[in-house]
Amino acid sequence: MDTWHIALNTLSILCALVSFLPFLDFKHWFFRIFDFVRLQLLALLVVLFITGLFFSSGSLFLGTLTQVLLLMAIAYQLFIIWPYLPFRKQSKGVPEKAITLISVNVLQKNADHQKLIGLVKQIQPDILLTMESNLEWEKALSEIEDDFTFSHKMPKENRYGMHLYSRLKVKSCQGHYLISDEHPSIEASLVDKNGTDFTFWGIHPPPPSPTEKPTSKQKDAELMMVARKVHDKKMPTLVSGDFNNVCWSKSSKLFSKVSKLKDARLGKGFYSTFPVKPKLFRFPIDLLFHSRDMKVHQIKTLPAIGSDHLPLFATFTITDTGHKTVKTMEPEVKQEVISIIVEGKEAAQEEN
């Protein structure tokens, strides 16, 4: 077997095997990173499989084994991402009293403030959530502050600042530090254009990465704390932000299961937001979840604003104002959530 075939088989087997790493319950960033690049890995697997069909390895057994592994990995990746393929058409018409939202990680060091300011002036969203917004960004956004009736500011210089602006009536608004005093989140009680109360959450937990946190423990814990609060409150709820988590990950699905919220991307498309460049490497980490008594009529990404994230735009309405009954959390799920939260708080002491 020549060098070419050895390299092809080695790469094929490695790519097939790493496809299954996120299935393992390890929190270290090395295992979690392959959850983020499923789309890119799927494309590579398909290319390797087709290449393997035309270039025999010289060994029937090894060639067959490699192709079978590739097929299994392709099938597994398709199984994971299938629910997010755009099989459902988005609403062509948007109700007159629909609420508009822009959720955007501005990139703290991004000095091109006018791109976002111009976008906000053009779209005039009812809710604007910014992440990584520090005092410099807060000062720049003062240009549009008069266009909103309410603002809640949590500037930080550690790339985890957060600002909320609203044209809707705000009954209450509270900043939280759920896991660590480094990472704020915002909970607001808002009133829609029909006079219906709903809860809005803005979140930005830290990612598992070589340059951030070594594990996903803090991120997972914050997601579970928000999910538990949403579950207990039992009212129309929308959660948005930079989750630092892809929509198809196990922790995103557990967040949905615990909170009883629906991922707005299901059946609509990926709407990948990060990184802006190169485009082929993008994956969806700026997420949007909503309760079943809400309808998201439109979700899309907006033009780049100089950040490494694309802004996420959505329009939604509350469709059912009646009291909703939520089943009690299953004991095993409740215990899993508690364990994740405890683990995350311990990690905050060790990793921060």
Res 126: pLDDT = 98
Res 324: pLDDT = 62
Res 64: pLDDT = 87
pLDDT tens per residue across span 57-74:
667 778 889 999 999 999
Strands 237-242 and 197-203: parallel
Res 5: pLDDT = 74
**3 state SS of 107:** coil
What is the fold, at CATH topology level, of the domain defined by 99-318? Deoxyribonuclease I; Chain A (3.60.10)
Low-confidence ranges of the chain (pLDDT < 50): none
Q: What would you report as the CA-atom Rg of the chain, rounded to the nearest whole angstrom? A: 22
Res 26: pLDDT = 84
pLDDT tens per residue across span 146-205:
999 999 999 999 999 999 999 999 999 999 999 999 999 999 999 999 999 999 999 999
What's the chain look like in SS3? CCHHHHHHHHHHHHHHHHCCHHHCCCCEHHHHHHHHCHHHHHHHHHHHHHHHHHCCCCCHHHHHHHHHHHHHHHHHHHHHHHHHCCCCCCCCCCCCCCEEEEEEECCCCCCCHHHHHHHHHHHCCCEEEEECCCHHHHHHHHHHHCCCCEEEEECCCCCCCEEEEECCEEEEEEEECCCCCCCCEEEEEEECCCCCEEEEEEECCCCECCCCECECHHHHHHHHHHHHHHHHHCCCEEEEEECCCCCCCHHHHHHHHHHCCEECCCCCCCCCCECCCCHHHCECCEEEEECCCEEEEEEEECCCCCCCCCCEEEEEEECCCCCCCCCCCCHHHHHHHHHHHHHHHHHHHHHC
Res 99: pLDDT = 98
Indicate the pTM of the whole model.
Answer: 0.94
Res 325: pLDDT = 60
Encoded amino acid at 302, one letter: L
